[in-house]
Amino acid sequence: DTLLFAGFSGGGYGFSIFSLGTMPALKKISESLPEDIIKIIPAGNYAYAVRPYEFMIYNAADPFHPEKIFSYSTDPVRDLDIAVNGSTLYLLEEMKRVKIFDISNPSGAVLVSEIPVLNAQNFCLKGNYLYVSIYDDGIKIFNVSDPKGPKEVGKIADAGAYKISVLGGFAYVFFTGRGLRVYNLENPASPQLVRFYDEVTYISDMFIDKDYIIFSESANGLSIFKNDAATSVGEKSSYVKDFALLQNYPNPFNPTTQISFQLPEPSNVTLRVYDMLGKEVATLIDDYKNAGAHTVRFNASNLPSGMYIYQLRAGEHTSMRKMLILK
């Protein structure tokens, strides 16, 4: 039968194993301590699990009697995450580091290296690359083809990164308060921003597949969007269907902020900043731009505190927003 491993973070048993052979009626066939399982990954005859203070490996060859064969004490953090690739396991200790284990002998897993990543929120493993979201430092990309010597090879320098998922050559990064941004990973050393979804700004989790983007919102339930950012394998595209000017971030700011926008077609573009009397105080862009997503940094060190308006013009499209300088 196909088996379902379910971890529980409340009281009682830590995880249960269900047989799916009797769908739609699930049949519980075993349950195991300890409680407060945060995440569990079954792989072959083994199950890898984390809970506060502990990383564990279970032998689940007999799903009726899973046996804990390895335990590793973690730092006292609430949020942990794990990912498995072959004989290598990656353990994220939130806000601190990623630990890499050789699990070729599951009962004697060995720590082989560590990656310090302060303020890490989430990570995603894809092939030989590990993508780590860092709240105040964007996304760091590591080549982990040699687990004993991981190397940082790229970065998305944009603060506020919370969740990340990688699919089909694209990184989907959710930024708290700003929404989802999609990056082309054709060159991992220099990811290119290609799409925005700013309709949802606060989530608890997200799910991405080739057709849909699903956000779990604590206040509004589920929000589902068509995934029109992903392209077929080998296709190069920066396609976006909407003209959009996003709210600058951070806002308020002192003295720098980022302004992002997206274009559905190539166009001559101007991006100008005005004070509240309508006087132009800065021209950030006056140039021809290709279709896709763009970001520009604005340095307001020469301007006084106050409210300002930034205006984007591209072909027949015009949009404006307010921003606040606080010094």
Instruction: Confirm whether 136 is domain-assigned.
Output: no
Other Cβ atoms less than 10 A from the Cβ of 8: the count is 16
Query: Are 96 and 164 contained in the same domain?
Result: no
- The domain that contains 312 carries what CATH number? 2.60.40.1930
Query: Are 150 and 78 contained in the same domain?
Result: no
Q: Among 116, 135, 163, which residue terminates a domain? A: 116
Q: Among 239, 256, 274, which residue terminates a domain? A: 239
- Residue 261's domain spans which residues? 244-325
Query: Are 213 and 157 contained in the same domain?
Result: yes
Total of domains in the chain: 3
Query: Are 252 and 198 contained in the same domain?
Result: no
Query: Are 21 and 60 contained in the same domain?
Result: yes
Query: Are 198 and 300 contained in the same domain?
Result: no
Query: Are 218 and 273 contained in the same domain?
Result: no
Query: Are 14 and 92 contained in the same domain?
Result: yes
Instruction: Confirm whether 251 is domain-assigned.
Output: yes
Return phi, psi of residue 107, to 5°. Answer: -80, -10
- The domain that contains 64 carries what CATH number? 2.130.10.10
CA distance 162 to 136: 10
Query: Are 250 and 235 contained in the same domain?
Result: no
Report which of 174, 293, 184 is spatially closest to residue 233, judged by C-alpha positions.
184
Instruction: Confirm whether 140 is domain-assigned.
Output: no
Query: Are 204 and 157 contained in the same domain?
Result: yes
Report which of 178, 144, 142 is spatially closest to residue 158, judged by C-alpha positions.
178
pTM of the model: 0.72
Determine the pLDDT at residue 33.
57
Instruction: Confirm whether 91 is domain-assigned.
Output: yes
Q: Among 180, 207, 239, which residue terminates a domain? A: 239
Instruction: Confirm whether 127 is domain-assigned.
Output: no
Amino acid, single-letter form, for residue 249:
Y
Return phi, psi of residue 119, to 5°. Answer: 70, 25
- The domain that contains 188 carries what CATH number? 2.40.10.480
Give yes or no for a contact between 76 and 53, defined as CB atoms under 8 angstroms apart.
yes
Report which of 303, 193, 295 is spatially closest to residue 253, judged by C-alpha positions.
303
Per residue of the chain (327 residues), give pLDDT as tens. Answer: 565 666 555 554 466 666 666 556 555 555 665 667 888 898 889 999 888 888 999 998 888 788 999 999 987 666 688 999 999 999 998 788 999 999 999 999 999 999 999 888 889 999 999 999 998 888 999 999 999 999 999 998 887 888 999 998 899 999 888 889 999 898 888 888 888 888 888 888 899 988 889 999 877 788 888 887 764 333 444 445 678 898 898 899 999 999 999 898 889 999 999 999 999 999 999 999 988 888 899 999 999 999 999 999 999 999 999 999 999
Query: Are 110 and 151 contained in the same domain?
Result: no
Give yes or no for a contact between 137 and 119, defined as CB atoms under 8 angstroms apart.
yes
Determine the pLDDT at residue 3.
59
Determine the pLDDT at residue 239.
47
Determine the pLDDT at residue 232.
38
Q: How far is CA 190 from CA 47, 141, 160, in A?
A: 35, 10, 19
Instruction: Confirm whether 134 is domain-assigned.
Output: no
325 has which bridge partners? 253, 306
Query: Are 233 and 254 contained in the same domain?
Result: no
